Chain A
Amino acid sequence: MDLNAILTWPYLVPLICAASIVLVLPLVAGYIVLVERKVMADMQVRLGPMRVGPHGLLQPIADALKLLIKEDIIPENADRWIFWGAPLISVTAAMLSLSAVPIGPVFLIADLNIGLLFILGVSALGIFGIVLGGWASNSHYSLLGALRSAAQLVSYETSAGIAVVGTVLLAGTLSTTAIVQKQATDGVWFIFAAPIGFFIYLVASIAETNRAPFDMPEAESELVAGYMTEYSGFRWALYFLAEYTNMIVVSSIATILFLGGGLRPFSGTSALDFLDYFPAAMMLGIAGYCFYRAPKQPVAVQKGFMAVVGLLCGGLALLLAGPVAVPALAAIKPGLHGGFWFLLKVSAYIYVFMWLRFTFPRYRFDQLMQLGWKFLLPVALANLVGIAVALALHRGLGWNVVLSFGLTTLLTVAVAGFLVWVGEGREVTKIGEEEETAANA
């Protein structure tokens, strides 16, 4: 077993990528929870977790330890095997769908021809974990929450799928790397060609991951955490991990399809090549901010910690600037910078998720289902027809690209406006009224 044989083994890179995802993802999910709490605190003008570790940075570790040592309660008369297996199904489906996601052009486990459909299909298998978990808990609240959650997921999956098909039309392929490549050759990210599709996908992905304002099935004041009610300790942590991994997956799909995942802005224009220094500049800015705030910390350990974080960011800035400044290292530029831009866009999308969570009140379940079927699905279909017509006008008849896509976007917006107008005019029947009208008829 010589070193050369190992290094040229075709499954080496996928194996390393897979191992790093499985090892790093739980930690990342835990830190996304911390980021969410900090962002929530920031929007509510307070500080968030500050106690555990400097600036609360060890909070996820403390949470994980607490969950691990909690008592494992299984309800009486619960189906033991399904109770045990349901969180596993959710986590497996969520992590498996990450295998076709290209974090930059190099970090990819499986370059499938049908990569996009694979991600959508396998993440849809997570619904089983939810429904079986709710059923196996042998509790009414759990079952109702599970059925509501699964109904919501299935409804918004159709709209999300149709919005995705619109961009597949633009790209002409289902392979994730090829879609990103097409955005590079076309010179424009697909969000500019299909903005309504992006909006539909944004709303549908929030509902897909059971996030507020669509979190009726699992909100604390509603069904007591829905399908997760009877799960405690590590099993609950697995469900939680599955939910945050799903968030990362839908953000990745949106980044690949709409935001040109892995490409820097204006990747085709060589005049704007100075933008290649942006990653390093951003890291240097963060490092500078850390060094600026370090002397102002009240506690000595926090001072030291800020300085260490500043040094780490500085090191990262050096690493990112290296391939750009030194031509000899240019071979690692696509992988490194691609990964950076991809993660930046995914983080921005997740930040928008959090922003929407802390801004909007919760949808009632029937309002949620009405929104999904009576507004979002028709708009998604109109968007699909619009993109197809725009492509036919642009590629078939040779119209100007701005004219054809602008026209169809306006038509889709008109359809959406019409649906909103119809929805406002629809009366909300009160609960007694329906039986009254049925009795009178």
Chain B
Amino acid sequence: MLDLVIFYFFAALAVGAAVMVVTRQNVVHSAIFLATALLATAGIFLSLHAEFLFIVQIILYTGGILVLYVFVIMLVNLDLALHQVQFNRRWYVALLLTVVLGAEAFAAIAVSRQSLYALPPAPAQALDPNTEQVAWGLFHTYVLPFEIASVLLLVAMIGGVIMAKKRI
């Protein structure tokens, strides 16, 4: 019962914040609502017993990536932006297509979810101790994707530095 209440709270917060992200005129307001959506997602992770992912979401996503977004917004913030049209001219076509796509996927899940419910959920203790299991997986089983991810981050760092130079 408490599980369901917590889920609905965080889900409503995430969906509400997401709608606000997409519809606000002011970019900084969108960024703040994105922060709220990310924190609500972190709450959902915590309720799913994924405590390491909860804290990684807060430190990396909210405390790192979003700060970067807010920095860039402040560097490119034009006062003109408040008076510009923020939605492109084909927005109704886009909305219609997305609604159709969403409805299809919704129907697909709604029809087949009974077979998913037949699978009993594993006990929550299977994911404890969470940090140790994640570490074991990252450094033992999936060490090759881990190394590739670090090369990816190196490439992104070099790319970011080059983008910022005035003369290459």
A–B contact, 8 Å CB criterion (strictly below)? yes
- Interface on A for B, CB 8 Å cutoff? 79, 82, 112-114, 117-118, 120-122, 124-125, 127-128, 131-132, 135, 143, 147, 150-151, 154, 174, 438
Given contacts A113-B131, A114-B51, contact A124 B70 (CB under 8 A): no
Do the beta carbons of B74 and A143 come within 8 Å of each other?
yes
Shortest A414–chain B CB gap in Å is 26
Do the beta carbons of A113 and B67 come within 8 Å of each other?
no
Interface string of B40-63 (1 = CB under 8 A from A): 000000000001101100110011
Given contacts A114-B131, A122-B58, contact A131 B70 (CB under 8 A): yes
Do the beta carbons of A121 and B58 come within 8 Å of each other?
yes
Given contacts A128-B70, A131-B74, A438-B167, contact A79 B52 (CB under 8 A): no
Do the beta carbons of B67 and A128 come within 8 Å of each other?
yes
- Chain A CB within 8 A of B13 CB: no
Shortest B148–chain A CB gap in Å is 21
- Chain A CB within 8 A of B25 CB: no
Nearest residue (CB) in A for B167 is: A438
Do the beta carbons of A132 and B70 come within 8 Å of each other?
yes
Do the beta carbons of A117 and B59 come within 8 Å of each other?
yes
- Chain A CB within 8 A of B16 CB: no
Size of the chain B interface, CB-CB below 8 angstroms: 24
Which of A82, A114, A131, A154 is B52 in contact with, Cβ under 8 Å? A114
By a CB distance below 8 angstroms, the chain A residues around B70 are 128, 131-132, 135
Give A267 to B29 CA distance when docked, in angstroms: 52
Do the beta carbons of B28 and A79 come within 8 Å of each other?
yes
Shortest B154–chain A CB gap in Å is 14
- Interface on B for A, CB 8 Å cutoff? 26, 28-29, 32, 35, 51-52, 54-55, 58-59, 62-64, 66-67, 70-71, 74, 77, 129-131, 167
Do the beta carbons of A113 and B129 come within 8 Å of each other?
yes
Do the beta carbons of A132 and B28 come within 8 Å of each other?
yes
Given contacts A124-B59, A147-B71, 7 further A-B contacts (CB under 8 A): A114-B51, A114-B52, A132-B28, A132-B70, A135-B28, A135-B70, A154-B67
Give A118 to B66 CA distance when docked, in angstroms: 18
By a CB distance below 8 angstroms, the chain B residues around A124 are 58-59, 63
Shortest A90–chain B CB gap in Å is 13
Shortest B21–chain A CB gap in Å is 15
Which of B35, B67, B77 is A150 in contact with, Cβ under 8 Å? B67
The secondary-structure label for the interface of chain B is helix
Do the beta carbons of A118 and B67 come within 8 Å of each other?
no
Give A122 to B64 CA distance when docked, in angstroms: 12
By a CB distance below 8 angstroms, the chain A residues around B59 are 117, 120-121, 124
Nearest residue (CB) in B for A117 is: B55
Do the beta carbons of A82 and B55 come within 8 Å of each other?
no
Give A174 to B52 CA distance when docked, in angstroms: 10
Give A143 to B71 CA distance when docked, in angstroms: 10
By a CB distance below 8 angstroms, the chain B residues around A79 are 26, 28
Do the beta carbons of B51 and A127 come within 8 Å of each other?
no
Give A340 to B64 CA distance when docked, in angstroms: 36
By a CB distance below 8 angstroms, the chain A residues around B28 are 79, 82, 132, 135
Give A131 to B32 CA distance when docked, in angstroms: 11
Give A174 to B55 CA distance when docked, in angstroms: 12
Give A174 to B70 CA distance when docked, in angstroms: 30
Nearest residue (CB) in A for B58 is: A121
Which of A120, A131, A438 is B71 in contact with, Cβ under 8 Å? A131
Give A188 to B51 CA distance when docked, in angstroms: 30
Which of B51, B63, B64 is A112 in contact with, Cβ under 8 Å? B51
Give me 12 A-to-B residue pairs in the complex whose CB atoms sit less than 8 angstroms apart, sorted by A's number.
Answer: A82-B32, A114-B54, A114-B55, A114-B131, A122-B58, A124-B58, A124-B63, A125-B58, A131-B70, A131-B74, A135-B77, A143-B74
Give A127 to B67 CA distance when docked, in angstroms: 8
Do the beta carbons of A125 and B51 come within 8 Å of each other?
no
Give A117 to B63 CA distance when docked, in angstroms: 12
By a CB distance below 8 angstroms, the chain A residues around B167 are 438
Do the beta carbons of A127 and B63 come within 8 Å of each other?
yes
